[in-house]
Amino acid sequence: MKKCDYCGKKITYFEQYCSDECQSKANKFYETEEKYTKLFSVLCTVCVLGVGIGIFMFAFLKILGTFIVVSASFILAILLFFLPFPTENMISKFKIEKSVKYVRIISYIVFGFGIAFLIFSFIF
């Protein structure tokens, strides 16, 4: 059986979505993704590089390195929460609704990493 491209419910082979609601939600998702993809890509790249650079700088300048890592991870977590754009492979495997939930879970993990690094920097 074929599955709805948004929610993953089983549908006939002649349909793409199970309802008009799923179709409108999917269209809204794709429009938002198209609108913010460049901004999302640039900010994600900057934040990931910021985390790497901050971890490197932590060895030399503890306070500055901690600030860079924590701020970059918090910005990345907020970005992933409000603009949850999964990859095409995730969408094809899990469908849109479940993929967005997984990206939001990843944002919680990134936020937890920032808090854990902040606690780690106070201990050492």
pLDDT in tens, 78-116: 999 999 999 999 999 999 999 999 999 999 999 999 999
Instruction: Mean pLDDT check: name the lowest of 12-21, 74-83, 110-119.
Output: 12-21
117 and 69 in contact (C-beta within 8 Å)?
A: yes
| Residue 95 belongs to some domain of the structure | yes
73 and 44 in contact (C-beta within 8 Å)?
A: no
User: Against a cut of 0.85, is the pTM above it?
Assistant: yes
| Residue 107 belongs to some domain of the structure | yes
Domain of residue 70, residue span: 36-123
The tally of domains found in the chain comes to: 1
Return the number of other C-beta atoms located less than 10 Å from residue 65's C-beta.
19
- According to DSSP, the residues that pair with 10 across neighbouring strands are 3
